[in-house]
Structure 1
Amino acid sequence: MEFFDNHKKLFRTALGLFVGLTLIVAIRPAINNQKNNAPLPNYEPLSEQAYLGKKSFIANGCVACHTQQVRNVDMDKIWGNRPGIAADYAGITRTDFWRNTATLMGTERTGPDLTNIGARQPSMAWNLLHLYQPRAVVGKSIMPAYPWLFQIKNKVGKNEVEVVVPDAYRKGINGKIIASQEALNLVAYIQSLKQTPLPNGKAPMEFLYKKKEAPTGKKGSTLNLPDGKLLYTNNCMSCHQANGEGLKGAFPPLKGSPIVLGDNLELYVNIIMLGYDPRPEYATMNAIGTDNNLTPEEVTAIINHERTSWGNNAKKVTTEEVKKIMDFIKITTKK
């Protein structure tokens, strides 16, 4: 009983148990994880600009609404090409000596997951407009606007980036809306968020609880294609909108578009795969097809969805036609 009456022995024993358990349960496993986990071979560290953008991402509380983790369940398939693994976070270091806000995996998805947002939405114009006024690109968005990251000037200076804002969101603004350096840094960080491809020969973990897919038709027919509406939603809708009408003064409409309804399939596929620099009143389109590694079947499904939606009534195209053009694009871009 003397042991329980001696407060010094009790305190030292409790402290020793606490330190010992901490070493065994927390510190040793953490050290082993650091030794056993390494970044994937093609991992790209953040650039200086993206690193500053990450600090802005933290300062503005973006992590409160956006996660950066793709779980291995089928409902997360829209956020990335594969479930996340430990190696995806192995190359991320502390923000600074005092703060360990490194991975920003988040705890709640009030907004979309950002693990692969750099591939899903690579457009700088879209991201800047989304920061300035989210509802300009997503009508029902509950994300707050960040107008303090932008300046109003009479003219665009050298190396400055103007944000193309639809007239409906320019009320009371007569000058040019210019992105601040902090806004550009933040977009650089967002654009850097891409899943690193696994090394050749490595199979990714499968998504669990997959939904059963109904048979789509005979092989080689236009019915044997992925869901064009879903592909449009994941790759095109953020700019061209769910109704295909685009945004006046920012992104061109696909509804009634002469390119969508026309017979020049080569131009159509080139725009999807290589991007497009349209008329001055619209923002430049990124190479969505190339950036997102879209297959001929996926590109065909997107084209057929756009040619038969929102009142469009054009002839569907086949995978063979699209593949022929994509193969030619690959040959010419390699030269």
Structure 2
Amino acid sequence: MNLFNDHKKLFWASSALFVLLMLFVAIMPAINNQLNNAPLPGSMLMTADEEAGKKIYISEGCVGCHSQQVRNVEMDKVWGSRPGIAADYAGMHRISFWQNTATLMGTERTGPDLTNIGQRQPSKEWHLLHLFNPRAVVAESIMPSYAWLFEDKDLADSLDVIITVPEKFKAGRKSVIVASQEALQLVAYLKSLSQVPLPDGTAKPEFLYQTSKKEGETAPAADNGPDGAALYASNCQSCHQPTGEGLKGAFPPLKGSEIVLNENPQDLVNIIMNGYDAREEYAVMPAVGKNNNLKPQEIAAIMNHERTSWGNNAKKVTAQEVEKFLAAIQKQNAVQ
């Protein structure tokens, strides 16, 4: 054929075929996906600080070690309450004409997945300390320190955000360490990462390949309620540590704590549910219970783990008692 003997015709024919294939295989399906997927109700646009924090996240190479995708396999249940869907990413847009990076799904997990980190770890103080020195909160962490995002000062200004750093992690820096604007923006972006609940009536995607009982295994023991140790690990351990000893100069100990061991644990219920900010020597505790929608049974399980671990030996509480404490706290707050 003349087509194969004429390099000009062959070039333009192959180019036209390439454009046609790109149109039908890539461009049209992408447009169709955009038209068929919209942001979930309740999803929020990022603020200016969160947008700036996203750019810092990119520039510091965080996407090289952290993913933002909850796959539909059981091993990913720890990262989110449900598998990710297309609508989770529908509201993301290019940074600029020349830069895509709309989604930062990542390709590996040298560090934890961050899809739902805003709910898993809502404490700004924890994130700042983690950025300053990851080993301060997770001894086994291999994440590099981002200490250059923080400034040393002899005296903090009124608008400065001071981070509480244990002495052994200050490494010769001055006593007052404040977060830079870049550090605060990066933390704002991390805290914005949160799975939006699906609308009522929407089928929730299931996690696949769930571990099933193998042949010959005995049946599991009767359900005695939520696992307090697991709930503590996912909600409290990153600050108060697996040993319950906290971090001196940053997070208070639960081991031997008067609040934890008190015969009337209403204050402990209030702290778990609504957070705590009454001691200057420690960072602010977020409202873990409220943020994570913990049920009375789950709060009771966490309390019982704390009240009976690390040498603590206090009376366990029931979910019914927690419900009464929550009602009393709500009534007290209404009066105030």
What range describes the TM-score normalised by the shorter chain of this pair? over 0.9
RMSD: 1.6
- Give the aligned partner of residue 207 of structure 2: 207
- Give the aligned partner of residue 244 of structure 1: 244
Q: Give the 5 Å matches for 1:32-47.
A: 32-47=32-47
SS across alignment from 1:177 = strand
**How far, CA to CA, are the matches of 2:154 and 2:333 in structure 1?**
40
**How far, CA to CA, are the matches of 1:85 and 1:286 in structure 2?**
28
Contact 2:164 2:250 in 1 (8 A): yes
Confirm whether residue 325 of structure 1 aligns to residue 325 of structure 2.
yes
CA deviations over 1:263-306 (Å, ceiling 9, x no partner): 12211111000001132111110000000111111111111111
SS across alignment from 1:30 = helix
Structure 1 residues 212, 297: closer, same or farther in 2, change over 3 A? farther
SS across alignment from 2:78 = helix
CA deviations over 1:37-70 (Å, ceiling 9, x no partner): 0000101010000000000000000000111111
**How far, CA to CA, are the matches of 1:229 and 1:145 in structure 2?**
29
**How far, CA to CA, are the matches of 1:330 and 1:73 in structure 2?**
39
**How far, CA to CA, are the matches of 1:264 and 1:57 in structure 2?**
44
Q: TM-score, normalised by structure 1?
A: 0.95
TM-superposed CA distance for 1:332, in Å, is: 6.0
TM-superposed CA distance for 1:251, in Å, is: 0.1
- Give the aligned partner of residue 97 of structure 1: 97
CA deviations over 1:199-237 (Å, ceiling 9, x no partner): 1222311112223586553xxxxx621111111111101
Q: Give the 5 Å matches for 1:155-234.
A: 155-212=155-212, 215-217=220-222, 224-234=224-234
- Give the aligned partner of residue 144 of structure 1: 144
Structure 1 residues 312, 239: closer, same or farther in 2, change over 3 A? same
Q: TM-score, normalised by structure 2?
A: 0.94
- Give the aligned partner of residue 15 of structure 1: 15
**How far, CA to CA, are the matches of 1:302 and 1:4 in structure 2?**
75
**How far, CA to CA, are the matches of 1:89 and 1:293 in structure 2?**
24
TM-superposed CA distance for 1:328, in Å, is: 4.4
- Give the aligned partner of residue 220 of structure 1: none
- Give the aligned partner of residue 284 of structure 1: 284
* Segment drifting more, 167-176 vs 118-127: 167-176
Identity of aligned residues (%): 61
Q: Give the 5 Å matches for 1:286-301.
A: 286-301=286-301
The amino acid of 1:39's aligned partner reads: P
**How far, CA to CA, are the matches of 1:107 and 1:332 in structure 2?**
49
TM-superposed CA distance for 1:146, in Å, is: 0.6
TM-superposed CA distance for 1:94, in Å, is: 0.5
Aligned length: 330
Contact 1:119 1:291 in 2 (8 A): yes
Gaps of 5+ in 1: 218-222
**How far, CA to CA, are the matches of 1:265 and 1:167 in structure 2?**
32
Structure 1 residues 270, 216: closer, same or farther in 2, change over 3 A? farther
Structure 1 residues 236, 187: closer, same or farther in 2, change over 3 A? same
Contact 2:263 2:314 in 1 (8 A): no
**How far, CA to CA, are the matches of 2:334 and 2:33 in structure 1?**
40
The amino acid of 1:122's aligned partner reads: P
Q: Which runs of 4+ in 1 moved over 6 A?
A: none
SS across alignment from 1:104 = coil
TM-superposed CA distance for 1:333, in Å, is: 5.8
**How far, CA to CA, are the matches of 1:156 and 1:252 in structure 2?**
23
Gaps of 5+ in 2: 214-218
The amino acid of 1:323's aligned partner reads: E
